[in-house]
A and B are shown apart, each in its own frame.
Chain A
Amino acid sequence: TQLLEQSPQFLSIQEGENLTVYCNSSSVFSSLQWYRQEPGEGPVLLVTVVTGGEVKKLKRLTFQFGDARKDSSLHITAAQTGDTGLYLCAGNNNNDMRFGAGTRLTVKP
């Protein structure tokens, strides 16, 4: 059983579409991070959210941390083929960082 549940597990969309992926837990985290991982490489940090209700924007990506600091969402506007990859969320408490299994996103041209 994963501490952090990510949904959907797989997502395939056309270029230009919008999408939202979710990261849910029954645990409260002091911070939560989103990573993107491409095949054959390690994960790369996209954002860290710390405060309940916090919203951060990174170009076409919008990240939200739930009010209770148990869940988070990642919204991508006008997806591009370069957004293809595995999106991982990771929740942190006192250096104990737990990862979800990821959402594998494919953006088709």
Chain B
Amino acid sequence: NAGVTQTPKFRILKIGQSMTLQCTQDMNHNYMYWYRQDPGMGLKLIYYSVGAGITDKGEVPNGYNVSRSTTEDFPLRLELAAPSQTSVYFCASSYSGVRNTIYFGEGSWLTVV
């Protein structure tokens, strides 16, 4: 009963460090998404993918990179961490776009100091 699984749950990074947030789903969904949620600001779309090998920028892509080599996995890469990237990150997936049910992971809390 896994659904969408994100790792790590919590991470503290120093300014300038790099890291990858992992996301995997076991529902054979075509669409996957990465959102960030800042306090009082709702969720903002970073990147999304409509299938393996295809990725597109969302509302706030700067400072991030993604890849989608398999249907199951959609990692999010932060190359040079900045304090502005302190946030809660959610990975999500859906079968065929946002009009279908979107399933979210439990979130990854990232602090950049």
Contact = CB atoms under 8 A, between A and B. Distances in A.
Size class of the contact patch on chain B:
20 to 34
A50 B42 contact: no
Contacts of B34: none
Size class of the contact patch on chain A:
20 to 34
Contact of B98 (A9, A31, A102): A31
Interface string A2-44: 1010100100000000000000000000110100000011111
A50 to B, nearest CB: 7
Interface string A64-100: 0000000000000000000000001010100111111
Given A48-B99, A50-B99, A95-B50, A102 B42 contact: yes
A64 to B, nearest CB: 18
Interface string B15-37: 00000000000000001000100
Given A42-B92, A48-B101, A99-B44, 9 more contacts: A6-B42, A31-B99, A33-B102, A42-B104, A42-B105, A42-B106, A90-B98, A95-B48, A101-B42
17 contacts: A9-B40, A31-B98, A33-B102, A42-B90, A45-B101, A45-B102, A48-B99, A90-B43, A92-B98, A95-B48, A95-B50, A96-B58, A98-B45, A99-B35, A99-B43, A99-B44, A100-B42
